[in-house]
Amino acid sequence: MFKHEVACVGDLLKIVNEVAKHNQEHQLYFRGQADSSWGIASSLCRLLNNNAIKPHPVNGMAPSLAYKISHCRLASELFDTFKDKFVLYSDVNIIKGYELNDIDLHVMAQHYQLPTRVVDLTKNPLISLYFATEENMPDTDVSVFILKNGYAETSSSIFQSKLDKARKKYHDFYQLIRQSMRNPSKLSLSYAVDLVKNYKYDLYDLNQDLLLCKGDVHPDHYALLSSLGAIGDSDIEKMLNVIADEDGFNFRQSHSAISLFNTKLQVITPLPINQRIKNQQGLLLFSNIINKPIFEASHFSSSNTITATDFDAGNFSNENCLKIVIKYKYVNAIREELERYGITRDFIYPELPNYTVYMKEKILRDYV
C-alpha cells in the first residue's frame, strides 16, 4: 500500500495533531535532529563518551567509580568556569532585577554551545523542524521527536529548590548512618536499622520529590513504610546498602553532575532570559545520568517510529517518545517552506552575528 511520506510542513502538523488527539490534549514537546539514526543524548554525554577521559587516579578504586569521578569533575569544572566568566559578556539576561540561579545558567550555557547535561526541547513543532533541517548532511534523513508521556514540567527555580532539598535530605541521612555502614559487623547494621525505625521523616511525595538512589529509595519513604509495619528489617537493610553505595558520592555532587533516578524525566521551563529562548519557545530536558543517553538509538523501532502521515496514532499511545523520520529528498523544500513562514535563522538566533550570516546567504542566493 502507498505510504504518504512527510514531504512538507503540513504533513508534520498532521502527524502532530493525530498524536495530540490520542494524548488527551496533554502538552507535547518536540526536538529536531539532523540525523534520523541518532538517539537523544545531551552534548555533555557525547563529550564524555567521544573522548578518552582518564579515570580518577586512586589505587584500588573500582574502575567504574574512578571513571564516574572523572566525568563528574569534568562536568562540574565546565559549568563552574562558565558561571565564573559569563558576567563578562553583555548579552546574558534581559530580565532586569532577576538573579539567575544555577539552572538558569545552565540554560545560558546550553544556548552558547557549552556541553551540558540538558537537551533542548520546544513546544513549537515548527521550531523542531527547523533544527532538523537547518544543516542537513548529504543523503541523510532527519527526524523530529515527539515527547508525550512520562515527563514532569517545572520552572528552573522550583527544580533548583527540589534538587537542593533532595541533596540535603540524602546527604544528611547518609551522615547519620555512615559510621554504622562503614563497619561491616552485624551489630552496626542492626544499629543502622534502628536509626531508620526511629527516623523523624518528612512528608514525601513519590511524584514530586527527586530520587538520588536506584530502586525508588528515599529515606522518608522507607521510614514511613517502617512506621506502618509495611516493611521488615531485611527490606531496611537493602535500602541502607543502596544509600551507602559508593560512600554517598552522588549526594555530594552539584546539579552539573548529580544522578537522578526518577522514572519521570524532568522538563525545565526556563524564564525568557533572552530573546533566543523566547523565539524558540525553548525548554530543557534534564538527563538523569550525565554519561548516558536519554534515549539510546536502539530504543527506536517500528513500534515508536513514524515514517508516513497515514498511520494509526492509537498504536503509539503507550510510547513516551516518538520519532518522525523525514527523507533527505524533502529537506531543502521543507526548509524553504519554513522560511516563508518566518522560521528563519535570524528568528531562531536573534543575535546580530547570526542575522548578518542569514542576511548574507539570503542576498547571495539572488546573485549565484
* Tens-place pLDDT, residues 229-262: 999 999 999 999 999 988 999 999 999 999 999 9
Q: Residue 86: what pLDDT?
A: 76
| Cα–Cα distance list, 296 to 41, 75, 212, 315 (Å) | 8, 21, 22, 21
Structure confidence by residue, pLDDT tens digits, 28-45: 999 999 999 999 999 999
Contacts of 255 (CB under 8 A, 6+ apart): 102, 103, 106, 160, 163
Q: Cβ(52)–Cβ(67) under 8 Å?
A: no
Q: Residue 182: what pLDDT?
A: 86
3-state helix vs strand vs coil in the chain, percent to 5: 50, 10, 40
The length of the chain, given as a count of residues: 368
Coil/strand/helix, residue 118: strand
Q: What is the DSSP letter of 137?
A: P
Which run of H or E residues covers position 159?
Answer: helix 156-182
CA-to-CA distance for 326 and 341, rounded, in angstroms?
A: 19
Q: Residue 129: what pLDDT?
A: 98
> What interhelical angle do 233-243 and 219-227 show, nearest 10?
170
Grid coordinates of 217: 529509595
CA-to-CA distance for 175 and 189, rounded, in angstroms?
A: 14
| Cα–Cα nearest to 272, from 119, 82, 98 | 98
Q: Cβ(198)–Cβ(169) under 8 Å?
A: no
Burial class of residue 70, CB neighbours in 10 A (0-12, 13-18, 19+): middle
| Cα–Cα nearest to 8, from 125, 100, 101, 155 | 125
CA-to-CA distance for 287 and 267, rounded, in angstroms?
A: 9
CA-to-CA distance for 349 and 111, rounded, in angstroms?
A: 10
Report the amino acid identity of residue 342.
G
Q: Residue 136: what pLDDT?
A: 81
Spans of the chain below 50 pLDDT? none
| Cα–Cα distance list, 74 to 50, 101, 251 (Å) | 14, 20, 17
Q: Residue 356: what pLDDT?
A: 66
pTM for this model (two decimals): 0.89
Q: Residue 306: what pLDDT?
A: 96
Q: What is the number of alpha carbons within 13 Å of residue 293 lying toward its C-beta? A: 13
Q: Cβ(211)–Cβ(262) under 8 Å?
A: yes
